[in-house]
Structures are given as structure tokens and as C-alpha cells.
Amino acid sequence: MSKEEKKPFSQTMAEWRQFVYNPRSGEFLGRTAKSWGLILLFYLVFYGFLAALFTFTMWVLLQTLSGDIPKYRDRISSPGLMISPKPVTALEFYFNKSDSKSYAEYVSTLKQFLKSYDDSKQSKNIACTAGKLFEQNEDRAVKQACQFNRTMLGSCSGVEDDTFGYAKGTPCVLVKMNRIIGLKPEGEPHIQCSPKEEGKVQITYFPDGGTIDLMYFPYYGKNLHADYLQPLVAVQLAINSSSTKEDVTIECKIMGSPNLRNEDDRDKFLGRISFKVQMSE
């Protein structure tokens, strides 16, 4: 093979122009308009068919599913814990108790979150027997929900103190357990929080002892259990004046229930949560 001669640039250009549109054969990009038309038509039909097929198979898939409960729940056998309000970045609360702007976001989130717990909105829910699972009959199309009154959260309810203690330097954080359909906790589950370093903070629980009552379980799903309110535990932190401007790490765990896991190696939020609070004056 000898070296190929370099084609002059003008010829290359001419060939390109020829390729883009060839007036002699009427070819555009190497094909005639008819040929392009047929190809486009083919792909239109082909992809149309594929789209229809995909839609159909998806439809078949959705037909096999129940609207009430998912087919499998093995990926969420044990619930996670979460707090409200959730700071935007990470789980770190920074606020100045004398600057209302610094905690306005938290307060409004809490207000918003607790709206559905207003006593006025709970009239349609029933008062259940405390300490017992509230299992409902299978054939009941709409499941009933137990009342969880906002007032049960005491000084964290926002009823008396609409800054949820942030203005006083005793911020409230709500701890909630993730909803899982059909979950029936055993024993006497309650939330227990502790600061990483002893003595920096005093913790008060609402309701007392951080109890999560069994009557709020099991959950029947969004569809059947539209009025369901998940039980909350409010944690009020009284940070020692000596520890202001310091990071205070709080870890909360769900305790007292053998079937609620709280020590998974990989999932740091399974039955536990830790967050930081730094308050300045």
C-alpha cells in the first residue's frame, strides 16, 4: 500500500456538498427524499409499536398490583426515625434565640406539620383504647383513625408557645417513626434521646416518657387509611447556658420494642436518628 494522496480541500468540500445534496440523483444526505420518507415512516411505525407495547406491558403490570397495599414490603421491615423540622442542610440546627429570623423556618415548618393534628380536625377520628393495637376488620373499606391530639405535645404543641420554645432557648424537635403498612410493634415502644456528651442538655418528652402508643398501629395505607395520623414524640431540649455556641449532638432511638430495630450497621436511620443543635444568644 502506498501512501494515499491527500485530496485537495476544495474536492473534499465538493464531495461533502455532493453528499449533503446531490442534485443529479436528488439525494439528500445519501438518500432520496422517498428513501428518507420510508425510513422515517419505518421508525415512526417501529417506535410507535414499541411505545404501544411498552404501555401495554406496563398496564398489565399495574393491573396485577393492588391499589391498597404494595405487593412486597420486605425492603422496609423495620421503620426509620425522622425529625421535624428538617434543616435544609444535613440535620443541623443553627439558630440564635434572640433572632426570630434565624428560627422562623423551623417554626413555620412545625406549624405546617402540626396543622393536621389540630384538635378541630380530629373530630372524625375516634378515641381508641390506649396500649392496645387497633386492628380493624378486613372488610371495612375505610379504616378509622385514632385521635392524636396536638395538646398531647404539651409545651411543644405550639398552642401556648408559638415559637415552640426556640425563643426561650428550649427548642422543640418532633420525632416521628416512618409509616409502614401493617407494622405491629411489640412491647412498649418509646423514644429515648440522649446527648452525646452528658450534662449539656436536659431533655423533656411529650407525651410523657416519649411513649408511642400501640393504638396507632397497624397502618393500612394511604388509600384505606386516609385520616391516619402517625404518633409523634416531641423532644424539648433545654441546653445548658454553658453549652451555648457549642455543637450538641442528640441521638434518639426507639426503645422497648423487640421488633423495631435500632442498631443497623449500614442504615443510620433505622430506628434511630442523630442531629446537632447549636444555639447562640
Partner 1 sequence: DDHKLSKEELEEKYTTSISKGLTSARAAEILARDGPNALTPPKSTPEIIKFLKQMVGGFSILLWVGALLCWIAFGIQLAQGVASAFDNLYLGVVLALVVILTGIFAYYQEAKSTNIMASFSKMIPQQALVIRDGEKKEVPAEQLVVGDIVEIKGGDRIPADIRLIFSQGCKVDNSSLTGESEPQSRSCDFTHENPLETKNIAFYSTTCLEGTATGMVINTGDHTIIGRIASLASGVGNEKTPIAIEIEHFVHIVAGVAVSIGVLFFIIAVSMKYKVLDSIIFLIGIIVANVPEGLLATVTVSLSLTAKRMAKKNCLVKNLEAVETLGSTSIICSDKTGTLTQNRMTVAHLWFDDQIYSADTTQSFDQSSQSWATLSKIVTLCNRAEFKPGQENVPIMKRVVVGDASETALLKFAEVILGDVMGIRKRNRKLAEIPFNSTNKFQLSIHETEDPNDKRFLLVMKGAPERILERCSTIMINGEEQPLDRERAEAFQTAYMELGGLGERVLGFCHLYLPEDEFPDTYPFDTDSMNFPTSNLCFVGLLSMIDPPRSTVPDAVSKCRSAGIKVIMVTGDHPITAKAIAKSVGIISANSETVEDIAKRLNVPVEQVNKQDARAAVINGMELKDMTAEQLDEILINHSEIVFARTSPQQKLIIVEGCQRQVNQGGDGPCHLNPTVFQDAVVAVTGDGVNDSPALKKADIGIAMGIAGSDAAKNAADMILLDDNFASIVTGVEEGRLIFDNLKKTIAYTLTKNIAELCPFLIYIIASIPLPIGTITILFIDLGTDIIPSVALAYEKAESDIMNRRPRHKKKDRLVNEQLAVYSYLQIGILQSIGAFLAYFTVYAEQGWLPNTLLGLRVNWEDDYYNDIEDSYGQEWTRYQRTYLQWSGYTAFFVSITIQQVADLIIRKTRRNSIFQQGLLRNKVIWVGIFSQIAIALILCYGLGSVTALNFTPLRVQYWFVAMPYAILIWVYDEIRKLFIRQYPGSK
By the criterion CB under 8 A, which residues form the site for partner 1? 1-2, 4, 31, 35, 43, 46-47, 50, 53-54, 57-58, 61-62, 65, 68-73, 75-76, 79-82, 86, 89-91, 176, 178-181, 219, 221-223, 225, 228, 264, 266-270, 273
Q: How many CA atoms lie within 13 A of 211 on its CB side?
A: 14
d(CA 116, CA 155): 18
**By C-beta, is 9 or 120 nearer to partner 1?**
9
Residue with cell 396500649: 131
CB of 39 to partner 1, least distance (A): 9
CB 95 within 8 A of CB 102: yes
**By C-beta, is 76 or 167 nearer to partner 1?**
76
Contacts with 148 (C-beta within 8 Å, 6 or more apart), sequence order? 117, 122, 216, 229, 230, 231, 232
CB of 80 to partner 1, least distance (A): 3
**By C-beta, is 134 or 154 nearer to partner 1?**
134
**By C-beta, is 148 or 154 nearer to partner 1?**
148
CB of 269 to partner 1, least distance (A): 4
CB of 134 to partner 1, least distance (A): 17
CB of 268 to partner 1, least distance (A): 7
Burial code (b: 16+ CB inside 10 Å, e: under 16) for 113-126 equals bbeebeeeebeebe
**By C-beta, is 80 or 256 nearer to partner 1?**
80
Cell (9 digits) for 153: 405535645
**By C-beta, is 169 or 219 nearer to partner 1?**
219
What length is written for the chain?
Answer: 281
Residue with cell 443497623: 264
CB of 281 to partner 1, least distance (A): 27
CB of 198 to partner 1, least distance (A): 26
CB 232 within 8 A of CB 148: yes
Cell (9 digits) for 161: 408557645
Which one, of 217, 137, 216, 211, lies nearest residue 184 by Cα? 217
**By C-beta, is 14 or 130 nearer to partner 1?**
14
